[in-house]
C-alpha cells in the first residue's frame, strides 16, 4: 500500500532508538513499498541529541522514509499513530529502590497511555520495550480505557530470540529449524524459557537436547540472565538486539506468525494456563492481521507449572505495587 504508516517511537534518542529507527526507516517493518512516517518522542533535554539522529536519518536517504517529526509532547507526537513503540523509560540508577523505579516509570506510562487514548489512530497497536516492560504495559493499558486491551503488548521477543540462539548452539542446528519456542511470564529473571514444546526440524526439542541438567541449570538461567551478561561484556545494556526483537515482535504482530510456528508476546491474560486474569504475561501466541491468539492446549508438567507460577507471582507483586501507588 502507498498510504504512509505513522510509527511513534519513544526514547528515540536512546541506545535502542539508535538502532531501531534506522531499521524501521529502511523498511524492515512494512517492506519496500510502504512509506513510513516516524514520530519521535523524547524528554526535552534529549531533543538536541535527537535532532542529530534525525540528521543521520536524512543522510541515509531511505526511500521508504516519508517524514520525521520530533517533540516532547506525547499528544502531538502520538496524534494519528498506527503503531507506538514505547522504548523510553527511566533506567534504575544507583540507590534507586524498586518502588522508586516503578513510580518513575509509572508517571511516564500513565501519561503516555492517556495521550494514546486521546489521539492515536483507531487501529493503534502498542508495543512496550521500556522496563519494567510488562508492568509499564499494564499501566499504559489501564490508563487508556478506550483502546481495546488486546492492543497492548510488552516485549519478550528478545528473550525468545536468545532462547532460539542458545538452543541452536547446543544442538548444532540452525535457528531457522527451531519452532514453537515459548517465553512464559515476565521480562525479568523469573521468566520461563520453555523448550518442552519447542521443535527442532519437527522433533521435540527437549528430546533432541536429551540433557535435563543442561535445560534446567544452564539454558534457563543463561537466557534469563543474558541481559546482565551483555552489560558485563559490553559495558552497556543490549541495544541492537533489543531493537531487532522490537522489530520482530511488531512485524509478526502486524503481518502474522508463520504457519506452524508461534511467537512469544506478553499480552493481557484471559486466565489461560491458570495465569491471573489481567496480568500482562508472556504467552505463546499466533497472530494474523494485527490480532493475536494465545496458543491453547499445551500440556504443562509440574516443573513448567512451578516456573510459570513463580513468574506470575512476581507480576502480581508488581501489579500490587503500582496499584498501591495509584497508577492503575
Confirm if 121 and 45 have CB atoms less than 8 A apart. Answer: no
According to the binding rule CB under 6 A, does residue 88 interact with ligand NAI?
A: yes
Name, in order, each residue with C-beta under 8 angstroms of 151's C-beta and a sequence gap of 6 or more: 124, 125, 126
294 strand-pairing partners: 285
Which is nearer to ligand NAI, 158 or 200 (by Cβ)? 158
- 108 near ligand NAI (CB under 6 A): yes
Toward ligand NAI, which CB reaches closer, 109 or 200? 109
Is 187 labeled as catalytic in the residue annotation? yes
Confirm whether residue 15 is marked as ligand binding. Answer: yes
Q: Which of residues 225-264 bind ligand NAI (CB under 6 A)?
A: 237-239, 242
Burial 248-257 (b: 16+ CB within 10 A, else e): bbbbbbbebb
Closest residue to bound ligand NAI by CB: 14
**Binding to ligand NAI by residue 143, rule CB under 6 A?**
no
Please say whether the beta carbons of 134 and 155 come within 8 A: no
> Would you count residue 190 as binding ligand NAI (CB under 6 A)?
no
- 52 sits near ligand NAI (criterion: CB under 6 A): no
In sequence order, which residues have a C-beta less than 8 Å from that of residue 100 and are 6 or more positions away? none
> Cell numbers of 222, please?
543463561
CA 149 to chain centre: 16
Residue 113 lies near ligand NAI (rule: CB under 6 A): no
CB of 126 to ligand NAI, least distance (A): 14
251 is in an annotated binding site: no
Stretch that binds ligand NAI, among 129-137, 178-186, 257-265, 299-307 (CB under 6 A): 129-137
Minimum gap (Å) between residue 294 Cβ and ligand NAI: 19
The yes or no reply on residue 15 touching ligand NAI (CB under 6 A) is: yes
Output DSSP code: residue 132.
S
Nearer Cβ to ligand NAI (127/200): 127
Assigned C-alpha cell, 122: 483507531
Q: What angle do CA 143, 144, 149 make, to 5 degrees?
A: 110
Number of other residues whose CB lies within 10 A of the CB of residue 138: 30
Asked if 166 interacts with ligand NAI (CB under 6 A), we say no
Is 14 annotated to bind a ligand? Reply is: yes
Applying CB under 6 A, the site for ligand NAI has a residue count of 28
* Paired residues of 192 in beta bridges: 184
Rounded-to-integer distance, Cα 116 and Cα 111, Å: 9
SS3 129: coil
Does the protein bind ligand NAI through residue 11 (CB under 6 A)? yes
Cell triple for 53: 539522529
Which DSSP state fits 217? I
Among 158, 163, 208, 224, binds ligand NAI (CB under 6 A): 158
5-13, 93-101, 115-123, 166-174 -> range binding ligand NAI (CB under 6 A): 5-13
Q: Say how far apart CA 123 and CA 80 lie, in whole Å.
A: 9
Question: Which residues are part of a known binding site for NAD(+)?
Answer: 11-17, 105, 112, 129-131
Question: Which residues are part of a known binding site for substrate?
Answer: 92, 98, 131, 162
Write out the residues near ligand NAI by the rule CB under 6 A: 10-11, 13-17, 41-43, 46, 87-91, 108, 129-131, 133, 155, 158, 187, 237-239, 242
Question: Which residues are part of a known binding site?
Answer: 11-17, 92, 98, 105, 112, 129-131, 162
What is the set of active-site residues?
Answer: 187
Amino acid at each position: 500500500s502507498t498510504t504512509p504508516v505513522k510509527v511513534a517511537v519513544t526514547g528515540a534518542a536512546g541506545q535502542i532508538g539508535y538502532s531501531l529507527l534506522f531499521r524501521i526507516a529502511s523498511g524492515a517493518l512494512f517492506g519496500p513499498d510502504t512509506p513510513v512516517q516516524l514520530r519521535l518522542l523524547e524528554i526535552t533535554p534529549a531533543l538536541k541529541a535527537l535532532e542529530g539522529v534525525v540528521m543521520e536519518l536524512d543522510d541515509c536517504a531511505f526511500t521508504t522514509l516519508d517524514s520525521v517529526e520530533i517533540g516532547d509532547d506525547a499528544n502531538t507526537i502520538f496524534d494519528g499513530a498506527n503503531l507506538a513503540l514505547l522504548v523510553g523509560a527511566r533506567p534504575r540508577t544507583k540507590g534507586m529502590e524498586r518502588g522508586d523505579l516503578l513510580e518513575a516509570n509509572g508517571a511516564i506510562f500513565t501519561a503516555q497511555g492517556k495521550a494514546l487514548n486521546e489521539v492515536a489512530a483507531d487501529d493503534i497497536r502498542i508495543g512496550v520495550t521500556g522496563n519494567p516492560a510488562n508492568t509499564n504495559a499494564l499501566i499504559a493499558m489501564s490508563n487508556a480505557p478506550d483502546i481495546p486491551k488486546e492492543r497492548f503488548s510488552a516485549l519478550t521477543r528478545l528473550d525468545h530470540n536468545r532462547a532460539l540462539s542458545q538452543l541452536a548452539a547446543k544442538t548444532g542446528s540452525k535457528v531457522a529449524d527451531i519452532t514453537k519456542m515459548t517465553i512464559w511470564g515476565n521480562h525479568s529473571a523469573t521468566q520461563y524459557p520453555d523448550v518442552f514444546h519447542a521443535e527442532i526440524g519437527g522433533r521435540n526439542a527437549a528430546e533432541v537436547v536429551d540433557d535435563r541438567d543442561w535445560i534446567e541449570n544452564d539454558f534457563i538461567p543463561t537466557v534469563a540472565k543474558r541481559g546482565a551478561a551483555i552489560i558485563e561484556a559490553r559495558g552497556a545494556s543490549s541495544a541492537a538486539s533489543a531493537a531487532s526483537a522490537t522489530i520482530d515482535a511488531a512485524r509478526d504482530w502486524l503481518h502474522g506468525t508463520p504457519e506452524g510456528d508461534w511467537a512469544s508476546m506478553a499480552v493481557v491474560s484471559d486466565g489461560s494456563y491458570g495465569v491471573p486474569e489481567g496480568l500482562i504475561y508472556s504467552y505463546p501466541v499466533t497472530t494474523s492481521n494485527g490480532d493475536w491468539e494465545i496458543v491453547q492446549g499445551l500440556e504443562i508438567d509440574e516443573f513448567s507449572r512451578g516456573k510459570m507460577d513463580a513468574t506470575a507471582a512476581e507480576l502480581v507483586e508488581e501489579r500490587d505495587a503500582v496499584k498501591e501507588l495509584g497508577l492503575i
